[in-house]
Amino acid sequence: MKVVIMAGGKGTRISSVASDIPKPMIKIEGISVLEREIECLKNQGFNDIIMTVSHLGNIIMDYFGDGSGNSPATGKPFGVHIEYYFEKEPLGNAGALFKIKDKLTSDFLLLNADAMFDVDFNRFVAFHQKHGGSVTLFTHPNSHPYDSGLIIADKSGAVEKWLAKEDARPQYYRNRVNAGLHVINPEVLELAGIDADSVGKIGEDGKPVKVDLDRQLLKTLAGTGKMFCYDSPEYVKDMGTPDRYYSVCKDCKEGRISAKNLKHKQKAIFLDRDGTINKYVGFLRNIDEFELIDGVAAAIRKINESGYLAVVVTNQPVIARGEVSFEELEEIHNKMETLLGKEGAYLDAIYYCPHHPHKGYEGERPELKIECDCRKPKPGMLFKAAEDFNIDLSQSWMIGDGENDVKAGSNAGCKTVLLSDNDENYGQTETVKSLEEFVSRMM
């Protein structure tokens, strides 16, 4: 599969770090971001690369050549084949695709050159091929969803809405952000209805015609069933500002970037919802009753920074009892993600059990009144998360405020924490009063 790397940005926001080299050539621990990208791709069998360059592009071309030489930084062979397209005039962040479209005859990876990442691309591509879309977006939660573009998708992952930063957004939303990694079928260039010959030429407004990837190509596919999102907790971070650059440097030095690749076993902190994240009100049926416990957002933010995945596993029998719809539960969870996001925290995944074994409730859903494998104290939700994210359960924790939480964690092989002021003993590893206390003690 070909890989197109867009390396033409000027890097204005990070000029205080380096102004005399292209942004992708800024070094992290002695090796440039772009070289790290190429190394990640090569190690997974993606060695056919086209780079689009412009500002100071000769520096990139001189450094990498055609990919057959050795790295000046490491002395190792680059081990890839590289072609270039040089933009003499800026064409927008997707204009060059129309200039090289004859070389794009099948699905290709499209990546930004200024992002630090270490992801399992074969897993990403397999998802794309399974779903059969024209585009698959690599999506993830981040610590600032309130000022990021958001992706809204259905349960199958089909993108329903693409909300750019300037678009109005709902009051509550899932923390799902486009990370800037894509698998694209070249038919997208035809669907856009853009005349390739016009790109770069002077338009009616007297300015060169440019093409914006997000707004002109991808956003238009929302709601068509042709675009899917691939949710992953793997490390992808733009290092385009000084603060983000120094944050990436710290993560690299501490080994967090490579550790997040799903080829490697992950560690997770599984969290019960009611009484652990939000204040306990009994069966929560009304979204207005959802309120975060003081200190929870800061605690989850520390979990995010620690390298553990933050995964919610919650019994929601109100679904089977007919008291809350699936749509209402989704909105409650959107509120949880929105409130956490406003304080710089995020959840990597949310799993819930909608079942309830006891019958006889007015308005109940008979098809959900079953004995299942996912209702805690059974460990089904934890096993599903472990399968989805390659989690080592023996190195993970289950935290909750009840016996079922402790037993579910024990049944899955996790260490366990009971949140309690009392001396109940359900075999838990630790007892603390709050999630905040656990994080303060353990991280």
Catalytic residue positions, numbered: 272, 274
Statement to judge: residues 212 and 285 lie in one domain: no
pLDDT at 403: 98
Say if 254 falls within a structural domain.
no
Structural domain ending residue among the three candidates 209, 244, 279: 244
Say if 257 falls within a structural domain.
no
Statement to judge: residues 355 and 395 lie in one domain: yes
Q: List CB contacts of 239: < 8 A, sequence separation 6 or more.
A: 14, 26, 28, 33, 114, 115, 116, 245, 247, 248
Q: pTM of the full predicted structure?
A: 0.93
CATH number at residue 51: 3.90.550.10
Q: Which two three-digit tokens encode residue 210?
A: 């440019």
- Containing structural domain, residue 356: 265-442
CATH number at residue 350: 3.40.50.1000
Structural domain ending residue among the three candidates 244, 275, 302: 244
Count of domains for the chain: 2
Statement to judge: residues 293 and 408 lie in one domain: yes
Q: Which residues of the chain have pLDDT under 70?
A: 9-19
pLDDT at 391: 98
Say if 249 falls within a structural domain.
no
| Average model confidence (pLDDT) across the chain | 94
Statement to judge: residues 183 and 98 lie in one domain: yes
Statement to judge: residues 210 and 285 lie in one domain: no
Say if 284 falls within a structural domain.
yes
Say if 146 falls within a structural domain.
yes
Statement to judge: residues 163 and 303 lie in one domain: no
